[in-house]
Structure 1
Amino acid sequence: MDRKISGLPMAALLMVVGLAGCGQGSQAVSEQEAAVSAEDLSFLNDNQAWRIERHSRLVQPDGWTSLVGLHWLTLKAHYIGSGATSGMRLAVGPERMGLVQREGGKVWFTPESGVDLRVNEQPLRGRIQLHSDQEAEPTVVVFDQGKGSLSLLQRGPHQALRVRHADAATRQQFSGLDYWPADRRWVLPARFVAHNPARTLQVVDMVGMSNTLANPGRLVFERDGQSYALEAVANADGSLLVMMADGTSGHGSYAAGRYLDVAAPDAQGQTLLDFNRSYNPPCAFSIYATCPLPPAENRLDLRIEAGEKAYAHKPVAGQEV
């Protein structure tokens, strides 16, 4: 069966544009029909380019599919490494990697003597402070000739070590993404309604922690004559992030909900919601991700049959590399 875009079968669109390109378009179809078809094909191409980029980011050596560990710091000091004698045992890396210490509200790392570790492409020889993912320049400790990395997460008052590895089974066995057919009818105009004064949004994440996020306003849109609203989270560049659940959550799309990136509203508060670009949060691909979940305000009584479907995991025993 042909996929349909804006109600037109894909095969028909290709035939229309093909005829126009051969100089027969004026006889076979009207100029208006050819223009509509070309516009639909441009939409398809743009959407496909976005999907390719999305896949590429996920499977980068340091992408979300490379996660192999999430270790919460519960003591003042942890000896870390992949060996059986390590107090905090990592799935990968040197048997004895070093010592992690919490002192005076800071986290420090002292490498084991003789272990090949690097920070900013320079050999790590002595004790350093680990800067978290919430700071301007997070520290990334690299091991295994660049295949593995260790970094610090800050989630509220809690801290954890995140470990990635290019040879992670979840990356090597990544089975790809599945989507609903791209449909321009799911590209909807939205009106940004600012909160005055600006608010914050309390969002719980996958590990049960509450996060306070900047919530400058909500996005109001219509579908099939009904009005809906989504609370938006502010990004540093002025764009917005929406975390949402809908009627497909757990019934075709990822059960915990999906995300949608939204361009900054214009001077009149207008922007677009392209639900074809709804995507799964990182926790859809790894048990080691800490994803904010959709707030209650963003649980829609609407089936959004567009964008990314639920990821079909392959069995990965123990989540090892």
Structure 2
Amino acid sequence: MTVQDSPTDAAAFAADWEAWHQRKDAALAQEHGFLAVTGQYWPEAEPERFPGAPGAWSAGPGGVTVELDDDEELVVDGTAVRGRHTFGDIPERGGVGAAWGDAVIEVAKRGGRYVVRPRHPQHPLRTAFTGTPAYAPDRRWVVTGTYTPFAEPRPTTVGAAVEGLQHVYDAPGRIRFAFDGQALELTAFPGSTPGSLQVLFADATSGVTTYPAGRVLHVDAPGPDGTVVVDFNRATNLPCAYTDFATCPLPPAENRLKVAIEAGDKIPHERGPATR
């Protein structure tokens, strides 16, 4: 159901949302955030040089290896490395940042494959960033629902912003709620903090006013009775909404809602005008 009885008045609610929105955009635009990524490269067995990064990169059973020229140096975990360096195995969705001057070279694993992404703070996508357009906050889009855990987490395969790549998440349960008389539900994935959840979803605004691939919504840990608060005002763009150099997961089929969620982030300026 829609939250109706909060003591927070409209002005305070809007101010709280605005502060959150600014913090979110500031994190996105941090010095070595996704707006600083200048390329996305998939090393193979044969060493190869990539634009915006030192050395020649390769990948094999032992992980990612870089072979640096005599005048090149990376700093890994505070230690300067020269010559040949192997990063070792990296867990899925994990990554390592190697400093190179004012840049960071990210080495990560996504969809079972290793990826190298240079991050340069002077990248125009970052320096020209002016913020993310969004719908005005409205308490109508704050709903309460019920979280029901599955008997066992369900491995759920979803597509990715990169063609041919897939992500697998263990879905712990689903969230059910009602909006405008419609019963809706969303499969939830583990969130970034203990007990919290995140939901990847698309809706009738996707490709119209919001990014076509969908958005993500973070949900605080359910209460003892399974009650959750779903605030669609905080539906957030994934990095792939701003840059092609991201491997973002796509919503599972059951999370493609037929209703229009006219709340949260809109299509970024970087992808073209967001209509109202």
TM-score by length of 2: 0.89
Contact 2:191/2:218 (<8 A) preserved: no
1:55 has 2:55 as partner: no
**1:116-142 Cα deviation digits (max 9, x unpaired):** 422233322343322566369743221
Root-mean-square deviation (Å) = 2.4
**Residues in 1 aligned to 2:185 and 2:37: alpha-carbon distance in whole angstroms:** 34
Q: 1:284 to 1:193 in 2, by over 3 A?
A: same
Q: Which runs of 5+ in 1 are unaligned?
A: 1-5, 8-31, 81-88, 316-321
My pick for the range that moved more, 119-128 or 39-48, is 119-128
1:275 counterpart residue number: 232
1:245 has 2:202 as partner: yes
1:78 has 2:47 as partner: yes
1:214 has 2:183 as partner: no
Contact 2:159/2:249 (<8 A) preserved: yes
**Residues in 2 aligned to 1:137 and 1:222: alpha-carbon distance in whole angstroms:** 36
Contact 2:62/2:89 (<8 A) preserved: no
**1:217-266 Cα deviation digits (max 9, x unpaired):** 11101101111000001136221110000010011111111110111111
Contact 1:262/1:273 (<8 A) preserved: yes
Q: Which runs of 5+ in 2 are unaligned?
A: none
**1:128-174 Cα deviation digits (max 9, x unpaired):** 3225663697432211x22x111222123322211111011111111
**Residues in 1 aligned to 2:236 and 2:60: alpha-carbon distance in whole angstroms:** 39
**Residues in 1 aligned to 2:181 and 2:61: alpha-carbon distance in whole angstroms:** 57
Q: 1:207 to 1:149 in 2, by over 3 A?
A: same
Q: Which protein, 1 or 2, shows the higher relative CO under an 8 Å CA cutoff with sep ≥ 6?
A: 2
Please report how far the alpha carbon of residue 77 of structure 1 lies from its aligned counterpart in structure 2 after TM superposition: 2.9
Q: Which has the higher helix share?
A: 1
1:120 counterpart residue number: 77
**Residues in 2 aligned to 1:45 and 1:175: alpha-carbon distance in whole angstroms:** 19
Contact 1:175/1:313 (<8 A) preserved: no
Higher Rg of the two aligned structures? 1
2:61 counterpart residue number: 104
Aligned residue among 190, 207, 224 for 1:234: 190
My pick for the range that moved more, 108-117 or 177-186, is 108-117
Please report how far the alpha carbon of residue 44 of structure 1 lies from its aligned counterpart in structure 2 after TM superposition: 1.5
Please report how far the alpha carbon of residue 101 of structure 1 lies from its aligned counterpart in structure 2 after TM superposition: 3.4
AA aligned opposite 2:26:
S
1:198 counterpart residue number: 153
Q: 1:49 to 1:131 in 2, by over 3 A?
A: farther
1:44 counterpart residue number: 14
**Residues in 2 aligned to 1:155 and 1:49: alpha-carbon distance in whole angstroms:** 32
Q: 1:177 to 1:102 in 2, by over 3 A?
A: closer
**Residues in 2 aligned to 1:133 and 1:142: alpha-carbon distance in whole angstroms:** 17
TM-score by length of 1: 0.77
1:90-101 map, 5 Å: 90=51, 92-93=52-53, 97-101=54-58
Please report how far the alpha carbon of residue 200 of structure 1 lies from its aligned counterpart in structure 2 after TM superposition: 1.4
My pick for the range that moved more, 133-142 or 239-248, is 133-142
1:224 has 2:180 as partner: yes
Contact 1:204/1:211 (<8 A) preserved: yes
**1:185-225 Cα deviation digits (max 9, x unpaired):** 11100100111122111111011312110101111011011
Aligned residue among 166, 185, 188 for 2:140: 185
